[in-house]
Structure 1
Amino acid sequence: MNTDQFLVKSELKHIDTASFTWQTPSNIALVKYWGKSNPQISKNASISFTLNNCHTITTIDFSKKQNSELVSEFNRTVDFDLFFEGKQKEEFKPKIAEFFRRVEEYCPYIFDYKMTINSENSFPHSSGIASSASGLSAIAMCLMSLEKEINADLSADFINKKASFLARLGSGSASRSIEGPLVVWGKHPAIEGSSDLFGIQFPYKVHSVFENYQDAILLVDEGEKQVSSTIGHNLMHNHPFAESRFLQANENLAKMAKILQEGDIKSFVNLVESEALTLHAMMLTSNPYFILMKPNTLEIINKIWEYRQENNSNICFTLDAGANVHVLFPESEKLNVLQFIDSQLSKFCQKNHYICDTVGFGAKKL
């Protein structure tokens, strides 16, 4: 794997202060990854819809340190303050500090600046919507904006590729939040240009039935997950079904690539739901085992199945690593499905809370 392409090789321009704001989305995987090796390499390829309304907005203010070039490379630290939704969040800093440690080889300029990070989500933090994906991709885009200012030769394509590469070092799914509407992360023979190092846009023409696809996120549980995704991924190392699962996921991605091009929506429904349940089956069969679904998660799934059968609908569900349910459906069914959600499903959500979303196109500079 050639990571040298992401090293800073040019002379960097001197800038005293800079500030950048990016809005980057969460994403929802259709074919999941669960299990990874260092440094943040997935055990199987995955593909996701980029979301639009579920996003993080992050501003980073950069101030050049005095005499930063005199600091020994053995005594350098990344200096940053972190504010989340207006409040200083010391408990979030270790994860961000670890991210900076992982990217410092590729972004050595971060030692030269004091950073003030202000971030906010459009959705509840740590509740099964991929907040690490949107949050770390936003930081990565801010870093690349600074790199562009001090190295003007960078192309837009390279910026997106390196941002995805950097974001991946913080959160694997964050590699899929730079672009959209469909992004593949992980080397796969059926996907031209795919890489373990960064996400790429799905490179083939997608059937019109999947354009402007809808995702209503039913917030069954807005609290923090009992078991983090990091712990869950680590439990795949000695999982009895791990190797079979990795093989299955790669086979499913090849099937999904064909489905998306041909518009076989019935097969799409079947594969997406199977992937969601398989993800949670890996949690149920790990050691120690755990359950992230809640009783209302299952109530919603059964209601979706009933509705689909009674109305010959193409509605389906998927799940991330949490209790919340993503209800996916084509735009042509939007009116009827939203009425169904409001009248039948919202009662299973915490405070009747759900988010109406649609597929989006990735990061936006504000």
Structure 2
Amino acid sequence: MLTAKDFIPAAYSQTIESGEYQWSAPSNIALVKYWGKKDNQIPANPSVSFTLSNCKTITKLAFAKKENKDSLSFDLLFEGQPKEDFKPKIQKFLERIEVYLPFLKEYHFTIDTQNTFPHSSGIASSASGMAALAMNFISLEKALNPAMTDAYFYQKASLLARLGSGSACRSVKGQVVVWGKQANIEGSTDLYGVEFPNEIHANFKNYQDTILLVDKGEKQVSSTVGHDLMHNHPYASSRFAQAHENLDALKAIFKSGDLDAFIKIVESEALTLHAMMMTSMPYFILMKPNTLQIINTIWKFRNETQIPVCFTLDAGANVHVLYPENVTEKVLQFIKDELVGYCQNGQYICDEIGNGAILL
């Protein structure tokens, strides 16, 4: 198994004066949630997610050699306009990854990034954004070191993405991604995300995720602060054990295609995540009244129709409505008839399982 030291490169065989790359990377939605982390963005528990398809960040990285090699230097554009308030996060990211990419101070970078979904809509833009940025940097490193294997390329990209935003490491590859060491999942590691290596039943192919935008405002508590509050949390150790158990259970469910069992775990995980927030000190609530209305309406609809639709939540108020592809028509009609009224300005986004980052 690779260690972090294995990702620190020796001398490069090539030199490059300037150039550019452009990658898109999708968001992802965790089924088993990660909440709480150790030093260096190491997760306190393993997680598994569906990689999405339509909700993505597209990032262009232009680079040119510079005279002064004493400091990191970059310009940041968001949708073509300078975006100063994103810069500290990128600066911190570059400082964290410099040990793995020793060429960073040799270039001036221009990072031009855009999302296909509203920023701060509660869709994990840090995951897609950091994954897209990591793909660009690793592409430059591969040009400097053409001997790099494909497997190493994606592992290191995921490791770099993790240092920008933990869940970003699950946005590099597709469909179902595990991050965090789990005894019975081969290749799983705290360092980077891996494609789920076991059998996945046809029920979970092309799984749909319709994201109901309940509240598009800034969250009152950032995920970083929320993760930190797990350090002295009275229920932390039980929660971490529960995540391991649920991931074990999901492994069997992915094989059998048991949608009822899938729903129980996914909804329980979403509610547990928010229960951890409500029972930390200080405590906080990210759900809104409309989040609860949607959840209750989904439960009622599922009871009455036996259609296997369920919800999950990220660290925010928005609701991800998950369902198999073969019930798409009925569920979308239900969303239009009964759930759109609970969305801010009636907005929702239709998405589905996707394949990870793409070079454009």
| TM-score, with structure 2 as normaliser | 0.98
Query: 1:203: which partner in 2?
Result: 197
What is the deviation of 1:87?
1.8
Q: CA deviation at 1:54?
A: 0.5
| 1:153 counterpart SS class | coil
1:345 is aligned with what amino acid? L
Residue matched to 1:143? 137
Structure 2: distance between partners of 1:154 and 1:105: 18
1:310 shift after superposition = 0.7
- 2:36 is the alignment partner of 1:42: no
Tell me by how many angstroms 1:126 deviates.
2.3
Where structure 2 has 5 or more consecutive residues not aligned to the other structure, the ranges are none
Q: Output aligned runs, 1:48-197, within 5 Å.
A: 48-66=49-67, 68=68, 71=69, 76-197=70-191
Q: Does 1:253 align with 2:254?
A: no
Shift of 1:222: 1.2
Unaligned ranges ≥5, structure 1: none
What RMSD in Å do the two structures reach over aligned CA positions?
A: 0.9
Tell me how far apart the structure 2 counterparts of residues 215 and 129 of structure 1 sit (CA, whole Å).
12
Q: Would you identify which runs of 4 or more consecutive aligned residues in structure 1 move more than 6 Å? A: none
C-alpha displacement of 1:32: 0.2
Distance 1:119 1:169, change over 3 A: same
1:127 Cα offset (Å): 2.8
Q: Secondary structure at the match of 2:31?
A: strand
The match for 2:350 is: 356
Q: Deviations over 1:58-113 (max 9, x none)?
A: 001001113x5xx4xxxx22100111122211111111111100100000111110
The superposition leaves residues 173-198 of structure 1 with CA deviations (integer Å, 9 ceiling, x where unpaired) of 00100001000000000211000000
Q: Does 1:15 align with 2:20?
A: no
Encode CA deviations 1:268-308: one digit per residue, 9 max, x unaligned.
00100000000000000011110100010001001100110
Q: Contact 1:24 / 1:56 at 8 angstroms: preserved in 2?
A: yes
Structure 2 distance, partners of 1:30, 1:208, is: 18
> Deviations 1:229-260 (Å, cap 9, x if unpaired)?
00000000111101110011111111111111
Tell me if the contact between 1:33 and 1:44 (Cα under 8 Å) persists in the aligned partners.
yes
Give me the whole-angstrom Cα distance separating, in 2, the residues matched to 1:186 and 1:312. 34
* Structure 1 range deviating more: 110-119 or 149-158: 149-158
SS in structure 1 at match of 2:54: strand
Residue 214 (structure 1) aligned with residue 208 (structure 2): yes
Structure 1 contact 127–322 (Cα < 8 Å) conserved: no
Contact 1:125 1:224 in 2 (8 A): no
* Distance in 2 between residues matched to 1:118 and 1:173, nearest whole Å: 21
Structure 1 residue 7: deviation in Å? 1.0
Give me the identity figure in percent. Answer: 57
Asked if the contact 1:50–1:182 (Cα under 8 Å) also holds between the matched residues in 2, the reply is yes
Deviation at 1:321, TM superposition (A): 0.3
Q: Does 1:293 align with 2:294?
A: no
Matched residue, 1:4:
5
Distance in 2, Cα, partners of 1:259 & 1:223 = 36
- Does 2:344 match 1:344? no
Q: Which amino acid aligns with 2:35?
A: W
CA contact (8 A) 1:34 1:236 kept: yes
User: Partner amino acid for 1:88?
Assistant: P
The answer to whether the aligner puts 1:322 opposite 2:316 as a matched pair is yes
Bigger drift between 147-156 and 328-337 goes to 147-156
CA drift of 1:164 comes to 0.2
> Structure 1: which amino acid aligns with 2:78?
F
Structure 2 counterpart of 1:117, which letter? I
Matched, 1:237 2:237: no
Aligned to 1:152, the other structure's residue is in SS state: coil
Match of 2:3, SS state, is coil
Q: Give the secondary structure class of the aligned counterpart of 2:103.
A: helix
- The one-letter amino acid paired with 2:279 is T
* TM-score normalised per structure 1: 0.97
Compute the displacement of 1:124 (Å).
1.7
Rounded to whole Å, the distance in 1 between the matches of 2:200 and 2:172 is: 19
Contact kept? 1:127, 1:225, Cα under 8 Å: no
